Amino acid sequence: MQPSIVRTSTADLYDAHVLKNYARAALTLVRGRGSLVWDDQGRQFLDFTSGIAVNALGHCHPHWVAAIQRQAGELIHTSNLFRNSNQAELARRLVGYAGPGRVFFCNSGAEANEALLKLARLHGMRKAGGEEGKCYQVICAKQAFHGRTFGGMSATPQEKIQKGFRPMTPGFVFGELNNLASFEALIDESTAAIFVETIQGEGGVNPCTSDFLHGLRRLCDQHNLLLMLDEVQCGIGRTGSFYAFEHVGVRPDAIGMAKGLGGGFPIGAIWVGERAADLFQPGSHGTTFGGTPLACAAALAVLDVLERERLMENVRLNSVRWHADLRQLVADFPKQVVGVRGQGYMVGVQMVAEPPAYVAALREAGLLAPPAGGNVIRLLPPLTATVAELEQSVNLLRGVLASRT
């Protein structure tokens, strides 16, 4: 008897069985190599979405693939009830980048930020002499994005994120990004921490200015607050330094990371500086999956390649010309392009019109680039992207803009 062959397309299966919380592109990706991906029709795309700033080494970097394969055959998961050497080594490497302190591993950006928000509460309790519920406010920025958990959502003051899910978690107030006075005005004895993205990603690639970050550091020192930086999107080499805050020389008390850290394997982490590293005590926080031997092997391979192939140096050097070429588009298409923002391989091209039509046209032309808030098209190449690939992205953008004048 012939088995019945069910001819149902991936698109049909999504339509029938996957929750509708995403407006997905009509594109089924099947294979990737470096900066390129291919769909099930054999079409090739220059992938400057990079899994939303995740695929730091591009697709299937051989060193990273080999590390995952090797570790998968050795030991994949053990829980955090035992030690594993990869977690220990990754913590050592991250402390090397961030400075004296300690690291906790989880599985995503939202989870990393959730841990930071819990850290802020513990700091507030200590600040209030051990009394709970007196000092717990966290000051965040308007247009921020910190994730989809209740803590992350509550720190993300956007209607499209919060709508339908209220009431939010109490304890969040919001200042204007790069307006220090607006943050200072929100500080009172209930304030425990200030929490911002060093460069806002989803909000439209909005960098904190150097003055603003140094001002926040000063306010935190004056009022005994934690300065916590969300580097989930802008961290791990994306801007040409390991952390984006290094460009301005500010020292945070805690850092959230995820996206690029595993190069495509899910992992998140927080680093907590010495001053606050003793706040989490046994039993106060945890996760079943965080810091598995496999996830940490993937992240260690990312750091190996980042260092060996001098990717951050490449990002710094290559982005000078790339940014200049992108800015030329503002001059050449003033009716369509408002401006170009960002640092290194994290760039936002602000458009006059809403980006979805452009994002679709770019995809048709062969470039995958995600939109962001404020009419922005984001360009997030893998850190391995070459000068030729950066040039190609500009040419593809130029072609789409020219076809719409």
Question: Which of these is catalytic: 195, 230, 253, 265?
Answer: 230
Among 113, 154, 206, 384, binds ligand PLP (CB under 6 A): 113
Among 259, 265, 280, 333, the active-site one is 259
Q: Does the footprint of ligand PLP cover residue 108 (CB under 6 A)?
A: yes
Instruction: Please state the closest distance from residue 237 (CB atom) to ligand PLP, in A.
Output: 15
Cβ atoms of 117 and 138 closer than 8 Å: yes
Which residues, numbered 135-164, are part of the site for ligand PLP (CB under 6 A)?
145-147
The answer to whether residue 142 is catalytic is: no
Cβ-closest position to ligand PLP? 109
Residue 110 sits in the site that holds ligand PLP (CB under 6 A): yes
Helix axes of 293-308 and 85-98: crossing angle, nearest 10 degrees: 40
- Is residue 254 within 8 Å of residue 239, measured between CB atoms? no
Q: List the interface residues with ligand PLP, window 225-284 (CB under 6 A).
A: 230, 232-233, 258-259
- Note if 259 is an active site residue: yes
SS (H, E, C) 28-91: CEEEEEECEEEECCCCEEEECCHHHHCCCCCECCHHHHHHHHHHHCCCCCCCCCCCCHHHHHHH
* Near ligand PLP by CB under 6 A: residue from 171, 201, 207, 262: 201
C-alpha to C-alpha distance for 143 and 155, rounded to whole angstroms: 10
Residue 91 touching ligand PLP (CB under 6 A): no
Select the span of 7-15, 73-81, 104-112, 344-352 touching ligand PLP (CB under 6 A).
104-112
Count the residues of the shown chain that bind ligand PLP, applying the rule CB under 6 A. 15
Annotation says 12 is catalytic: no
The one-letter code for the residue type at 180 is L
Closest distance of CB 400 from ligand PLP, Å: 25
Q: Measured between alpha carbons, how far is 265 from 340 in angstroms, rounded to an integer?
A: 30
- Tell me the C-alpha distance between 138 and 133, whole Å: 13
Contacts of 35-42 spanning 24+ positions with Cβ under 8 A: 35/59, 35/381, 35/382, 35/384, 35/385, 35/386, 35/389, 37/368, 40/10
Least spacing, CB of residue 230 vs ligand PLP, in Å:
5
Q: Which positions are catalytic?
A: 145, 230, 259
Which residues bind to ligand PLP, rule: CB under 6 A? Answer: 108-110, 113, 145-147, 197, 201-202, 230, 232-233, 258-259
